[in-house]
């Protein structure tokens, strides 16, 4: 992402993906194209830089070339890692609260699970989200799918997160769907 900096300059800030060392990529551009990047710094997953606004297209081309050299198809393919499947008996508020009490972050991602669900009901809320009632092994659960209003099929395979949702003074289990595909 770039924004105006000092007169005639732009400042950029970037975040990376696993397997792509952003600071090292900028270092290669810096060495191969002297004077293109005025200054830069950072680490594997985040970096910042300054360059002349008039040279943005040149930087874009140089950076894309370096990225093509350093990345392979596997790194560019989105992969969702999960912690497996849960039995319906494990989908309960105390477990969601236990997960929420842990510290998650770099190197310790929030746990995601995957399972097959029947979609019992769905409606649009807030003009851009789906509120669902989904079922597994005869038990029904509330779920949310953010930033989607298109109806889901009757059966889905889903990657999800368990959440202890608090609303109007009540706490209840809610399943946040992160990704889904139609189940056969």
pLDDT digits (tens, 9 = 90+) for 6-23: 999 999 999 998 889 999
Mean pLDDT of 54-79: 92
Percent of the chain with pLDDT over 90: 85
pLDDT of 106 above 80: no
3-state secondary structure 34-83: CCCEEEEEECCCEEEEEEEHHHHHHHHHHHHHHHHHHCCHHHHCCCCCCC
The second-level CATH assignment, the architecture, of 88-182 is Beta Barrel (2.40)
Tell the CATH topology of 2-76.
Diaminopimelate Epimerase; Chain A, domain 1 (3.10.310)
Characterize the bridge pairing of strands 139-145 and 170-182: parallel
Structure pTM? 0.67
The domains spanning 2-76 and 88-182 adopt the same CATH topology = no
Mean pLDDT of 47-60: 96
pLDDT digits (tens, 9 = 90+) for 149-180: 999 999 999 999 999 998 899 999 999 999 99
Mean pLDDT of 31-48: 95
Characterize the bridge pairing of strands 170-182 and 37-42: unpaired
Mean pLDDT of 123-151: 96
The domain limits of the chain are: 2-76, 88-182
Average pLDDT, the chain: 94
φ/ψ of 166, rounded to 5, equals: -110, 125
């Amino acid at each position: 992402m770039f924004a105006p900096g000092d007169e005639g300059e732009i400042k950029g800030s970037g975040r990376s993906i696993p397997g792509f060392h952003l600071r090292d990529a900028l270092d290669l551009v810096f060495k191969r194209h002297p004077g293109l990047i005025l200054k830069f710094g950072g680490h594997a997953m985040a970096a910042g830089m300054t360059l002349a606004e008039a040279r943005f297209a040149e930087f874009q081309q140089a950076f894309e070339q370096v990225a093509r050299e350093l990345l392979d198809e596997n790194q560019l393919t989105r992969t969702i890692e999960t912690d497996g499947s849960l039995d319906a008996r494990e989908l309960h508020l105390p477990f969601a609260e236990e997960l929420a009490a842990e510290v998650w972050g770099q190197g310790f991602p929030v746990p995601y699970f995957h399972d097959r669900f029947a979609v019992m009901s769905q409606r649009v809320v807030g003009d851009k989200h789906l509120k669902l009632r989904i079922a597994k092994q005869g038990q029904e659960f509330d779920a949310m799918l953010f930033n989607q209003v298109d109806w889901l099929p009757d059966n889905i395979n889903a990657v999800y997160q368990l959440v202890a949702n608090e609303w109007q003074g009540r706490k209840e289990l809610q399943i946040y769907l992160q990704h889904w595909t139609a189940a056969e």
